[in-house]
Structure 1
Amino acid sequence: MDKFLRPDRFDADPNSSGAASEWKHWYRTFNNFLEAIASHKPDKLKTLVNYVAPRVYEYIADSDDYDSAITTLEKMYVKPKNEVFARHLLSTRKQQANESLSEFLQVLKQLSGDCNFKAVTAEKYKEEALRDAFISGLRSSVIRQRLLENKTLQLQDAFDQALALDIAQKSSDSYESVIPSFSAASDNPEVTKSSQDEASQAAVAAVRVSRNSRCFFCGNNRHPRTMCPAREALCNKCGKKGTLCQNVQELYFRSNQH
C-alpha cells in the first residue's frame, strides 16, 4: 500500500507563482505516505530528506528535527498574503468578455481566499470597507501603488501615508516647474546678462528652504526675489537698483547660505 502513496521528490522553486500550491499538495501526499508506513516507525526527518531535491534540502540542512524542517519549508513556500492588495483585486475585478457568470463567481471566490476575512465587529468592518474604498478611489496611481505594498494597513495609516505622499508629489512638481522657466529664458538672446542674474537669484530663492522666515531685503514674509517690494530700491552705497547692485547680491546670497 505504501508504494502507491509514495510521493514524488519535491523540487519546487519557492519564488514561482505556484510555489504555495505545489508545497501544500506535496506536503499532503507526504503525510499520507508517513501514515502508510507508520508501522515501520520511520525517522521522519531522514524520510523527508530522501524525498526532497538537493536544492530544497539546502533550506533544511541545519534543521535538527522534523518539525523545525517542516516549519522552515512552510515559511519558504507559503508567503504571507498581502491582504490590502488582495481586497483591492477583489473589489475591482470585473467580468471579462466571454466569461460566464459561473466562471466570474469562481474567480471572485478564489480572490477572496487571500483577503484574510474573519469575524470582526461592525466598527472594524466599517473601517476596513472605508480603507478599501479610499485606496480604490484614489486618483493618483502612484499613491495607490505605494499603499498596496502594505500587507496590512489601518484606515488612519492609509490616510497618513497617502497625505505624506501627496504633499511630497506636489512639492516635487512645484520644484521642477521653477527651474525650466528660468533655463528657457537663458536661451533667449534678447535677455540681458542682468536679467539672467536676476532670474538665477529668483530661482535659488524660490527653491531654497531657509531657516530665516523673513525676507533679507524688505523684512516681510519669505518670498521669491522677483516679488520683493524692495527689488527696485536704490543702494545707499552705490546708487544702483537692488537687482543690479553687487553689494546687495553678495549680502543676499550670503544670508541664504547660513
Structure 2
Amino acid sequence: MAGNKTLTVSVFCADPQAPDGGLQLKHWLRTLENILDEPETAPTAAAKLATLHSKIDYRVYNSIAQCATYDLSIAELKRLYIKEKSPVYARYLLQTRRQQPNEAMDHYAQELRQLLLDSVREPRTPAQAQDDRLLDAFIAGVSSQELRLKLLEKTDLTFATALEQGTVYTEARMQSNTYDRTRLLAGTTLHARPESATAEDADPLAELRDAPEEDPALTAAVTTRPKALRGAACFFFVFDADDY
C-alpha cells in the first residue's frame, strides 16, 4: 500500500443511514489521507484510487464504482455519509439539548460541542450573529409548518432571504386559496336550482294533468283534488255486493 507503512487504516463499512455514519467517515478519511499524503511516497492518482478501493467493503464500493477518480470517489462518499444540518436547526438543537437520564456528563458535553460545530461553520461578525438571532426567531415563530420546512432545507439562509421567501410563500398561498374559493363557488352554482323554475315544476302531478285526456273522469278527479292532497297516493277499492 502506498504511503506510510507505520500507519494502518481499517476497512470502511459504515451504513450511510447510521446516525454516526458521517462521523465514522470523517475519522476514516483522516486516517486514510494521513497515509496517502506522506511526502516521501507521493502516490499517483491511480495508486490512490486503488488504495481507496482496497480499504472499503463491497457495499461501500458499489456506491462509488461509477466514479473514475479518487477525488470523485471521495466527493461521492461525503455526499452519501455527511448529512449537514441546517445551521438554524443546529442552533435550535443546541439551545434545547438537555442532559438525558443516566447520560454521562462527558457525553453530554461532547454532544453540545458537536452541535456548536454544526451551528457555526465559520467565524461570525457581530452583525452576522445578530442576523442569526433574527433568523432563528423568524423560523421558530412562523405559523406555517410547510414554510418552516422549506426554510430549513436551506443551509446558507439569512434573515433577509428568509423574509423574502416567507413573503413569496404567503402571497402564493393567498392566490391558491382564491383558486379554491372559485372552484367551490362554481360547484355550488352548478348544483343550484335554476332561477327559471316555477312552483309547477315541483308538482309531481303537473305532467299527468298536461297529458292527453284519455280518461275524462280520472283527469277531473286529479285536477279537482284539494291542493293539500295533490301529490299524495290514491287508492281504489272495489267492493263486490255479493260479499255483504
Residues 67 and 98 of structure 1: CA distance in aligned 2, closer, same or farther (over 3 Å):
closer
Aligned residue number for residue 224 of structure 2:
none
Aligned residue number for residue 22 of structure 1:
24
Aligned residue number for residue 141 of structure 2:
137
Distance, in Å, in 1 between the alignment partners of 2:109 and 2:146 is: 30
Distance, in Å, in 1 between the alignment partners of 2:196 and 2:136 is: 52
Residues 121 and 24 of structure 1: CA distance in aligned 2, closer, same or farther (over 3 Å):
closer
Distance, in Å, in 1 between the alignment partners of 2:147 and 2:196 is: 40
Aligned residue number for residue 125 of structure 2:
121
Distance, in Å, in 1 between the alignment partners of 2:121 and 2:33 is: 28
* Gap runs ≥5 in structure 2: 198-244
Residue 84 (structure 2) pairs with residue 83 (structure 1) = no
Which residues in structure 2 correspond to 1:36-115 (within 5 Å)? 43-58=47-62, 59=64, 62-64=67-69, 69-91=73-95, 93=96, 95=98, 98=101, 102=105, 106-115=110-119
Distance, in Å, in 1 between the alignment partners of 2:33 and 2:19 is: 24
- What are the superposed Cα offsets for residues 115-149 of structure 1, whole Å, 9 maximum, x if unpaired? 13432222221112111111111111111111111
CA contact (8 A) 2:84 2:118 kept: no
Equivalent of 2:159 in 143, 155, 158 = 155
Distance, in Å, in 2 between the alignment partners of 1:5 and 1:99 is: 37
Distance, in Å, in 1 between the alignment partners of 2:196 and 2:133 is: 56
Mean Cα deviation higher: 109-118 or 141-150 = 109-118
Distance, in Å, in 2 between the alignment partners of 1:79 and 1:97 is: 24
Pairwise CA RMSD: 4.0
Distance, in Å, in 2 between the alignment partners of 1:128 and 1:116 is: 10
Aligned residue number for residue 212 of structure 1:
none
The total of aligned residue pairs comes to 188
Q: Secondary structure at the match of 2:11?
A: coil
Distance, in Å, in 2 between the alignment partners of 1:152 and 1:194 is: 59
Distance, in Å, in 2 between the alignment partners of 1:117 and 1:76 is: 20
Aligned residue number for residue 192 of structure 1:
193
Residue 187 (structure 2) pairs with residue 183 (structure 1) = yes
* Gap runs ≥5 in structure 1: 197-258
CA contact (8 A) 2:93 2:115 kept: yes
Equivalent position amino acid for 1:194 in 2: E
Higher relative contact order (CA 8 A, sep 6+): 2
Aligned residue number for residue 201 of structure 1:
none
Per the normalisation by structure 1, the TM-score is 0.55
Distance, in Å, in 2 between the alignment partners of 1:90 and 1:195 is: 68
Q: Secondary structure at the match of 1:113?
A: helix
Residue 173 (structure 2) pairs with residue 169 (structure 1) = yes
Aligned residue number for residue 8 of structure 1:
10
Mean Cα deviation higher: 135-144 or 48-57 = 48-57
Distance, in Å, in 1 between the alignment partners of 2:103 and 2:132 is: 30
- What are the superposed Cα offsets for residues 174-229 of structure 1, whole Å, 9 maximum, x if unpaired? 43234335534655xxx531389xxxxxxxxxxxxxxxxxxxxxxxxxxxxxxxxx
Per the normalisation by structure 2, the TM-score is 0.58
Distance, in Å, in 1 between the alignment partners of 2:146 and 2:71 is: 43
